[in-house]
Amino acid sequence: MQNRIVLGMASLCLGVLVFSLQDPLVKAVSSTYPVTEVMAIRSIVALPILIFLVHADVGLQAILSKRFGMLTARAFIQFSSYTVYYLAIAALPLADAVALYFMAPLFIMALAGPYLGEHVSWRTLTTVLVGLLGVLVMVRPGAGLFDWAALLSLASAALYGFSQLMARKIGDTESSTVMAFYQNGAYLVGAAVVAGLFWLAGVTHAAHPSLEFLVRPWIWPTTVDFLKMGACGFVAAAGMILLSQAYRLAPANRVATFEYTGIIWTPLWGFLFFAEVPRATTVIGAALIIGAGLFALNVSRRRIGEPAIAATCDPA
């Protein structure tokens, strides 16, 4: 059991690092192409990779699962989560978007009790409130600087958290590769449907960067931009498998905090590629959110008398 938990933690750390590479790639094309086109190209590139991985892991017959309904529902929840997250990064600095997204582990810890039956203490629930305080510090409502795109990042965190709890619930029979295959399929179908609806409605422009990223018509990409969007497919295939594997192998409230290793990467990409320097309120708010999550995990382990495992994953 302990080996499964350690493997789950390692899978999550690596998955977070891999997935963080998508953020600068998507932000780089967000001013020219619609999010649906980015997701469609990404999904098409990832599809043959995932088919091969499913075949090598459990065989293609596993795609026809008896849990088709739950797999599909989880996949479209993931599609909704990542769509609204991408919309957020079109308007927000990468550091802000990812720091708000780090509420996801706290949502996971809070929902693990009612949804999975895992014990969640009142101290853990208190840390969720501390995390929300960190959110308020970051978004500064009433300061005249609030951008509603911050709510998109929070919505993405909540949807992502619930989808990973679903992965834990169905992980006893479904492999991480099959879950990733369904997820990729939902991205492709969902992107095509959303783009089609806006095209039929004749909606092609919006004032806000997030909405513009959503409704902008598809155009033929340049070679460089196509490569950026296609690279997201390779990143997504690896990232989806690693994250699904993490929550399949280990209890949700044991591995969720390792989502915070992403704080190492996304602000770094924002600084290197977009010259974004995090504001002081971003740093303070992120510290409250991350500190709350780390404390919640530590309290949970002390309660059951297990040795603590450091909630870090240093890539060096």
Is residue 242 included in any domain, yes or no? Answer: yes
pLDDT value at residue 314: 31
Is residue 276 included in any domain, yes or no? Answer: yes
Distance CA 221, CA 21 (A): 20
Is residue 212 included in any domain, yes or no? Answer: yes
Is residue 261 included in any domain, yes or no? Answer: yes
Query: DSSP state, 115?
Result: I
Is residue 310 included in any domain, yes or no? Answer: no
Q: What average pLDDT does range 173-202 have in this prediction?
A: 93
Q: How does pLDDT run across 3-40, given as a tens digit for each residue?
A: 778 888 888 889 888 888 989 999 999 999 999 999 99
Amino acid present at 312 = T
Query: DSSP state, 114?
Result: I
Query: DSSP state, 262?
Result: G
Q: How does pLDDT run across 53-77, given as a tens digit for each residue?
A: 899 889 999 999 989 999 999 999 9
CA–centroid distance for 154 within its chain: 11
Is residue 98 included in any domain, yes or no? Answer: yes
Q: What average pLDDT does range 282-286 have in this prediction?
A: 82
pLDDT band, very low/low/confident/very high, at 189 (cuts 50, 70, 90): very high
pLDDT band, very low/low/confident/very high, at 144 (cuts 50, 70, 90): very low
* Mean pLDDT computed over every residue of the chain: 82
Name every residue whose Cβ is closer than 8 Å to that of residue 68 and which is 6 or more positions away in sequence: none
Is residue 316 included in any domain, yes or no? Answer: no
Most confident of 85-94, 97-106, 121-130, 143-152: 85-94
Q: How does pLDDT run across 74-89, given as a tens digit for each residue?
A: 999 999 998 999 999 9
Name every residue whose Cβ is closer than 8 Å to that of residue 140 and which is 6 or more positions away in sequence: 146, 281
Q: Where are the alpha helices (DSSP H) in the chain?
A: 2-20, 22-29, 35-57, 68-91, 94-101, 104-111, 122-139, 149-170, 176-201, 209-215, 223-249, 252-255, 266-274, 280-303
265 pLDDT more than 80 = yes
Domains in the chain: how many in total? 1
The overall pTM is greater than 0.85:
no
pLDDT value at residue 128: 72
Give the domain range for residue 76: 2-303
Name the token pair of 280: 């002081």
Distance CA 243, CA 203 (A): 35
- Report helix, strand or coil for 199: helix
Distance CA 239, CA 36 (A): 19
303 pLDDT more than 90 = no
With both helix axes pointing from N to C terminus, report the angle between 280-303 and 94-101 in degrees, rounded to the nearest 10. Answer: 20
Q: What are phi and psi of 304, to 5 degrees?
A: -95, 5
Is residue 222 included in any domain, yes or no? Answer: yes
